[in-house]
């Protein structure tokens, strides 16, 4: 039986992460929102500190982003492992600033992808490097199975050709995890991920995007033209198993979607806490012993948003716990991502509305959080895609049967 209280052994980690968010992220949050594409140099020292924490702990430091599905024999007691600890750390850090978390060296979504599917040898080879993840293409967004970037085997190398857009931290990272197909005629099963060094001559940076939110994080567009990588750069199993289909690639999402949900949960909590303070200053009292509709309209709205936040928090912890205990969590990962992403957008906009001119101006971070929130409902699979995945799982339908 899952226990959704924070495990005692993870409370120091959560406290460390909250301290980082309070002392480092919050003070420079507005600075790097306004200075888009400027690298937050303050994070270099922080990254070194986190590396030291990781070396001295078996559960990672405050910024650990690597996750891996834990093996379970089915009879063991509940396990609280790296997935849950990472989720708890991310919640606290994104209470500080989502864009700055995504700007931290060696804490990218590409690192999580490597940790999810890489072999032991690959984990050793790429350890300590910062990895971005390149999935989206001009004609393949949420439907990752439509990827057109190709990877052709030529001797002891793969040759990659295609275009990748909206690559978070793509310009700053050391490595790019590129998703490409070995054989388009074999559909989803042929899609694999490859490690590409950022300085590979076949990888060209086209431009950096100007964005609505998470402006501290760089978002790059790349062209791959005859980009050669060694065969060892293919993550996981190189065989194309049509019967297995897209399952191998989806393992990455099963582990990373709860992380994005955690980002949304942390940002949502930040907005609620700020709004609670503003409502109290305005004389609006919250009473948890009285029906919401019997209270001030602002209090009723706040309590509604807070209940959505609690649901998103529980779903996120549940999805991470399942991964730690070796349980299939595709359904729960998509449910967590869908609920947390939508809740984050609804709550941050609702908080801006409740706080009026205070929420809309730049004297607080509420308007920034409202802008940052939208990407958390989009990347790693949009709201609509998550609901489609949930529907397929609940109804027992394949992707061809329910589109």
> Which one, of 368, 351, 360, 355, lies nearest residue 302 by Cα?
351
> Which one, of 337, 342, 350, 338, lies nearest residue 272 by Cα?
350
Largest CA-CA distance found in the chain, in angstroms, rounded: 73
Among candidate residues 121, 157, 380, 401, the one labeled active-site is 380
Q: 3-state class of 130 per DSSP?
A: coil
Q: 3-state class of 84 per DSSP?
A: helix
Mode of pairing for the β-strands spanning 175-181 and 131-134: parallel
For 374, the token pair is 């939208």
Q: What span, in angstroms and rounded, lies between the C-alpha atoms of 119 and 4?
A: 31
For 326, the token pair is 């070796």
For 115, the token pair is 């940790």
284 contacts: CB under 8 Å, gap ≥ 6: 296, 298, 299
Q: What span, in angstroms and rounded, lies between the C-alpha atoms of 332 and 338?
A: 10
Cα dist. 283→171, 277, 296, 361 in Å? 47, 10, 10, 21
Q: What span, in angstroms and rounded, lies between the C-alpha atoms of 214 and 212?
A: 7
| CA 278 remoteness from chain centre | 29
Whether 380 is catalytic: yes
Alpha helices in 103-172 (DSSP H): 109-117, 120-126
First vs last C-alpha separation in the chain: 34
Whether 115 contacts 123, CB under 8 Å: yes
| CA 259 remoteness from chain centre | 4
Please identify every residue annotated as catalytic: 380
């Amino acid at each position: 039986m899952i226990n959704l209280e924070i495990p005692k052994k993870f409370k120091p980690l959560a406290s460390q992460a909250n301290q980082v968010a309070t002392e480092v992220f919050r003070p420079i949050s507005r600075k790097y929102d306004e200075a888009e594409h400027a690298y937050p140099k303050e994070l270099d020292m922080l990254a070194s500190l986190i590396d030291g924490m990781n070396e001295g702990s078996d559960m990672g430091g405050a910024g650990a982003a690597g996750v891996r599905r834990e093996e379970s024999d089915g009879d063991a007691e509940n396990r609280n492992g790296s997935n849950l600890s990472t989720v708890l750390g991310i919640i606290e850090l994104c209470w500080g600033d989502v864009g700055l978390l995504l700007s931290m060296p060696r804490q990218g979504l590409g690192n999580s992808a490597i940790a999810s599917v890489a072999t032991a040898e690959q984990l050793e080879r790429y350890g300590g490097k910062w990895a971005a993840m390149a999935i989206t293409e001009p004609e393949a967004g949420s439907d990752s199975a439509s990827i057109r970037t190709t990877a052709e085997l030529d001797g002891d190398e793969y040759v990659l050709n295609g275009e990748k857009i909206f690559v978070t931290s793509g310009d700053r990272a050391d490595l790019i995890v590129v998703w490409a197909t070995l054989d388009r005629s074999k559909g989803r099963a042929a899609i694999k991920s490859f490690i590409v060094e950022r300085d590979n001559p076949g990888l060209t940076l086209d431009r950096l995007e100007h964005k609505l939110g998470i402006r501290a994080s760089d978002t790059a567009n790349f062209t791959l033209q005859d980009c050669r990588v060694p065969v060892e750069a293919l993550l996981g199993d190189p065989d194309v198993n049509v019967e297995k289909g897209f399952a191998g690639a989806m393992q990455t999402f099963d582990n990373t979607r709860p992380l994005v949900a955690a980002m949304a949960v942390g940002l949502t909590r930040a907005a609620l806490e700020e709004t609670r303070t503003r409502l109290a200053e305005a004389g609006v009292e919250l009473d948890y012993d009285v029906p919401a509709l019997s209270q001030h309209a602002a209090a009723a709205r706040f309590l509604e948003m807070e209940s959505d936040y609690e649901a998103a928090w529980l779903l996120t912890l549940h999805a991470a716990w399942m991964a730690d205990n070796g349980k299939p969590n595709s359904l729960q990962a998509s449910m967590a991502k869908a609920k947390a992403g939508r809740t984050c957008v609804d709550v941050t906009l609702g908080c801006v509305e409740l706080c009026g001119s205070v929420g809309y101006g730049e004297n607080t971070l509420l308007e920034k959080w409202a802008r940052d929130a939208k990407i958390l409902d989009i990347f790693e699979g949009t709201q609509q895609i998550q609901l489609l995945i949930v529907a397929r799982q609940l109804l027992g339908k394949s992707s061809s049967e329910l589109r």
